């Protein structure tokens, strides 16, 4: 099983944002958007990691409760049953990204698991992806889209 750490960062929320994934110090990627939210960056990091690793079992390790709880608590089941409405009857935030992510996890024909790690707690790989995502967000400061 490949273990991939993911993270998202945002300078302001919304504001300039960055995402990153890493499966080791030598295999990683990051990217950015000029105007986004932290939660969008967290989800994009997972999408990009899974797209880059289309085969074999994967463990996604994230400090995002938003991402991890969606799968551990199966939030998506209710969203789909309620036609993309949350428990308050409101439209699900970031639906476009969830619609891209869910098939990568649920329809890929492989095992994809999610583990939560506390952010900024000394986990070496979590700190690494945090640095990558933050640097990507910082690179967007002052740019206009």
**Which residues participate in catalysis according to the annotation?**
7-8, 42, 63, 120, 130
Q: What angle do CA 27, 6, 67 make, to 5 degrees?
A: 155
Burial tier of 123 (Cβ tally within 10 Å: 0-12, 13-18, 19+)? middle
Tokens at 46, concatenated: 């997972």
Cβ neighbour number for residue 143 with a 10 Å cutoff: 11
Element (H, E) at 127: helix 124-139
Give the residue carrying structure tokens 């690179």.
139
Cβ neighbour number for residue 82 with a 10 Å cutoff: 12
């Amino acid at each position: 099983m490949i273990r991939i750490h993911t993270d998202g960062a945002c300078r302001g929320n919304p504001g300039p944002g960055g995402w990153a994934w890493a499966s080791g110090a030598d295999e990683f990627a990051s990217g950015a958007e000029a105007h986004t939210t932290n939660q969008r960056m967290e989800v994009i990091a997972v999408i990009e990691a899974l797209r880059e690793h289309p085969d074999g079992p994967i463990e996604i390790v994230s400090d995002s409760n938003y991402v991890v709880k969606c799968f551990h608590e199966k939030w998506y089941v209710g969203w789909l049953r309620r036609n993309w409405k949350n428990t308050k009857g409101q439209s699900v935030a970031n639906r476009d990204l969830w619609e891209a992510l869910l098939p990568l996890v649920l329809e890929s024909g492989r095992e994809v698991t999610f583990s939560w790690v506390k952010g900024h707690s000394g986990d070496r790989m979590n700190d690494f992806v945090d640095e990558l995502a933050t640097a990507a967000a910082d690179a967007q400061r002052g740019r206009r889209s």
